[in-house]
Chain A
Amino acid sequence: MAGTAETVARVRRERLVAAMAEEGLDTLILHGNAWQNDYLRYAVDFGILEGEGIAVVERDGSATLFLDDPLEAERAAVECPAVETATPDDIVAEVARLCTARGNRRLALAPQRNIPFGLIERLGQTPADDATALLDRLLMVKAREELDAIRRAAHLADAGYEVFRRAARAGRADYELVAETEAFFRANGVDDNFMLIGVGGPEVMGMTPPTGRRLAPGDLVITELTPCVDGYYVQICRTLCVGRPNEAQERTLAMYREAMEAGIAAVRPGATAADVARAENDVFRRMGFGDYVTSNYTRVRGHGLGLFPDTKPHILESVDTPLEQGMSLIVHPNTYNPEVGYFVLGDSLIVGADGAEVLTRTPRELFIGGDAA
């Protein structure tokens, strides 16, 4: 599998070099940390954990990865041996020195939002373009090899949810469910996992890290699991009930399932993110829950997936980004419901030529926690 991951990284690098050539760029400066690492990872395939990293990518595709932390540099030497790493005392000053010393070369930076103040200040009069949109496009519309990597990761999202579901029993604390899920992921080659949880009823307005709440009969347990394999995230959102669900909970599942399936049915090349969001939201509006698709109760109706667990395009009625073949998304009509509390249901998919290729296969049910499959 390591060879496969290397192939995917090589394909990414080739696409990046081609995009740089098309834009006439000589050097790209990519910033990353464990929060927002997709831009950096696209070029150097390193899953940074501690400190920050800046990759300096040349137009021939060669790259130097500057890291804050010698332990991270040691790890990078093992995990991405093809990339040269350096740990100067001050990575911002060193990268700025390199860039300004090169003179008349065309330089660009990404992601613009996270570029350190000190780097921009030191670049001074050295012109530097914003390469965020260039990288965003590469991150959104993926190569065939990247999509294969995403397909390989999808079964671990399903398997992880099965572990989570079996762990969810009355009396257990929310963080114990996370512990069992993480242990399964770590033992099975999942590098990282974006995961939120909520336990309770109508008082639950959203998902957060675990707070120590113990599961009680009648509680809904909501989670989104987003395992990362070789850098690629795949997400699944499901809701389970501690004990047998009541009628309101079952009715809520039916509405969210209809909304999710309407959203998935709207996915096709040429449709927009807004079209998908509207298809989901129309179901809520038709059933009298239109207030609950607004930003007071929900953030997005899905989002892109890839080297970041929550990437563009955001599935919102205000986002006109056209969907293209080769994008990977999750469609999730997650939102607050006044009868039962925050409720989640979502499946990951790839945008294919004829519509959605749904990746996650866990049944779209309101599960009973701890129940055997």
Chain B
Amino acid sequence: MRHGLIRWDEKRLSAADVTARQDRLRDAMARHGIDGLVIYTNHVRSGALTWAAGFTPYWSDALWYLPRAGRPVLSTALSKRVGKWIAATNPTSEITHSPSPGGAIGQFAADQGAARLGVVELDRMPRALVDQIAAAHSGDLVDASELFAGVRAASDLPEMRLVDAADALARDAFAAVPETAASVGEIAGPLELEARLGGAEEIYVATAPELAADTRFARRKGDVALGRRHAARATVARHGVWIRRIETLDPTAGSEIADARDWLKTLCAKLKAEPGIAEVIGTTPLPARAALAHWRLEAPAGTRPLQTVAALGTDLAAPVAYGVLTVRLDMPGGPVVLARPIHGAGSR
């Protein structure tokens, strides 16, 4: 569940920011002949709704309905006792509580005369909710994933600012990790503490405690010993925007890791999250005596906050709003794994 700080912050993401996104969705709905758009959300599949309404569910699931005109509706089975919290963190939507969230949305759409409903990721919607909608609404239910993806791909300035803020939060959290850390717990504890003190909604920590032996990241017990060269991945969410930051740590590395960080910083500054990224990464001169072993780009996709959209050997197929670039360099002292966010091509 999400149990970091979750509150509406008009300075960071305003009601005007999200209603502008809703207007863009409505334009696309009109072009596609969709009368109402349905987005499913839970705290795992929060990405679409946090973008469209700024709302992050902490638990349970809900449906959000965007009509062609009028305020959107969030329908949830959560108790009315948390209704004030939901309304306070979701100010552009009407909130309705129902043991049948799909039924409530279906009835609302039917009452409005909406004949054709588009559902983002219809295939993935829990069958029970689809049945609830269909029982109350006799019109068409069609998949609206492409419609949504087309609108979602465009960057906007508030989102890029939130990306940078989340990355700064992760950077500051890594700064709190002691250089003498000898166990996974001595990394995971400070990362959790600093990120959450800084206002993170969520942080997931994964580690690779001895990169020379295994470059895979996993959740490991706190007492697992760290090898000479190890790495940690902090996946941080703030105001619904998710980023990852990976740092490789090695007290004996000399300038090797710093060189890799500088290289990645330069690369990220010139990259935009759009097709052709593979060529730019592949042709950018590497640090001395380094080989690029792997890279991966993740981006918000549909209801997923982050999803792999490109990797070594597979270019990005379409622009994305922003991305997180992970690279693994083979260097004389061992593997160096790093991750940083990059901005989208068309920040508005």
Instruction: Give A residues with C-beta under 8 Å from B.
Output: 1-2, 33-35, 47, 49-52, 68-71, 74-75, 77-79, 90, 92, 112-121, 173, 175-176, 178-180, 182-189, 191, 193-197, 205-206, 208-212, 295, 297, 299, 336
The answer to whether B190 and A183 touch across the interface, beta carbons within 8 angstroms, is yes
Interface of chain B residues 282 through 314 with chain A (CB within 8 A) = 296, 304-308
**B residues near A, CB below 8 A?**
1-7, 42-45, 58-61, 79, 81-82, 84-85, 88, 122-128, 130, 185-186, 188-193, 195-197, 199, 201, 204-206, 214, 216-223, 235, 296, 304-308
Q: Which residues of B contact A183 (CB under 8 A)?
A: 189-190, 192-193, 196
Are the C-beta atoms of B189 and A184 separated by less than 8 Å?
A: yes
Are A179 and B197 CB-contacts (below 8 A) given A34-B44, A68-B307, A196-B3? yes
Given contacts A182-B196, A209-B6, contact A117 B124 (CB under 8 A): yes
C-alpha spacing A34/B79, complex, angstroms: 21
Q: Across the interface, which residues of B come within 8 angstroms of A179, CB to CB?
A: 4, 192-193, 195-197
Cβ distance B121 to chain A, nearest Cβ, rounded Å: 9
User: How many angstroms between the C-alpha atoms of A116 and B216 in the bound complex?
Assistant: 30
- Given contacts A69-B307, A178-B196, A206 and B79 within 8 Å (CB-CB): yes
In whole angstroms, how far apart are the Cα atoms of A79 and B59 in the complex?
25
Chain B residue nearest to A205 (CB atoms) is: B81
- Do B3 and A210 have beta carbons less than 8 Å apart? yes
The distance from the CB of A37 to the nearest CB of chain B, in whole angstroms, is 10
Main secondary structure of the interface of B (DSSP, over half): mixed
Q: A71-B217, A117-B130 are in contact. Are A51 and B304 (CB under 8 A)?
A: yes
Q: How far is the CB of B129 from chain A (nearest CB, A)?
A: 8
With A77-B216, A116-B123 known to touch, is A210 a contact of B5 (CB < 8 Å)? yes
The 3 lowest CB-CB distance pairs between A and B, nearest first, are: A118-B123, A187-B189, A179-B196
Q: Is the CB of A35 within 8 A of B61?
A: yes
Query: Do A187 and B185 have beta carbons less than 8 Å apart?
Result: yes
Known: A183-B190, A297-B81. A115 touches B222 (CB 8 A): no
Assuming A116-B124, A205-B84, what are 11 further A-B pairs, CB within 8 angstroms? A34-B43, A35-B1, A35-B61, A50-B304, A119-B127, A179-B192, A182-B192, A183-B192, A189-B221, A195-B1, A209-B5
How far, in Å, is A150 (CB) from chain B's closest CB? 18
Assembly CA distance A173 to B214 (angstroms): 40
From B191, B199, B201, B296, residue with most partner A Cβ within 10 Å:
B199
Cβ contacts A to B, 26 pairs, < 8 Å? A33-B44, A34-B43, A35-B1, A35-B44, A50-B44, A51-B44, A70-B296, A71-B308, A114-B128, A116-B126, A117-B125, A121-B123, A173-B5, A179-B195, A182-B196, A183-B190, A186-B222, A187-B189, A188-B185, A189-B222, A194-B1, A195-B1, A196-B3, A209-B4, A210-B4, A211-B88
| Interfacial chain B residues near A68, Cβ < 8 Å | 304, 307
CB contact under 8 A between A75 and B219, given known A116-B123, A118-B124, A183-B189:
yes
Please give, as numbers and ranges, the residues of chain B lying within 8 Å of A206 by CB-CB distance: 79, 81-82
Complex Cα distance, B219 from A50, in Å, reads: 13
Complex CA distance for A115 and B127, rounded to whole angstroms: 6
Min CB–CB distance B196 → chain A (angstroms): 3
The answer for the CA separation of A118 and B124 in the assembled complex, in Å, is 6
Partner of A79, one of B43, B126, B218, B235: B218
Q: How far is the CB of A314 from chain B (nearest CB, A)?
A: 13
Most buried by A among B5, B61, B304, B305: B5
Q: Please, how many angstroms separate the alpha-carbon atoms of A231 and B4 in the complex?
A: 21
Q: Give A206's nearest chain B residue, CB to CB.
A: B81
- Least CB distance from A47 to B in Å reads 7
Cα distance A349–B80 when bound, in Å? 29
Report the minimum CB–CB distance from B232 to chain A (whole Å). Answer: 11
Chain B proximity of A10: nearest CB distance (Å): 19
A280 to B: closest C-beta gap in Å:
18
Query: Which residue in chain B gives the minimum CB-CB distance to A31?
Result: B126
Chain A neighbourhood of B296, CB < 8 A: 70
Whether B197 lies near A209 (C-beta < 8 A) is no
Measured in the bound complex, the distance between the Cα atoms of B121 and A90 in whole Å is 12
Q: Is A75 a contact of B216 with CB atoms below 8 Å?
A: yes
* A180 proximity list for chain B (CB < 8 A): 193
- Chain A residues with CB under 8 Å of B308's CB are 69-71
- Bound CA–CA A258/B130 (angstroms): 44
In angstroms, Cα B79 to Cα A336, docked, is: 13
CA distance A176 to B193 in the complex (A): 8
B-side contacts of A186, CB under 8 Å = 185, 188-189, 191-192, 205, 222
C-alpha spacing A173/B45, complex, angstroms: 28
Q: Is the CB of A193 within 8 A of B124?
A: no
Say which residue of B4, B5, B204, B221 sits within 8 Å of A49 (CB atoms).
Answer: B204
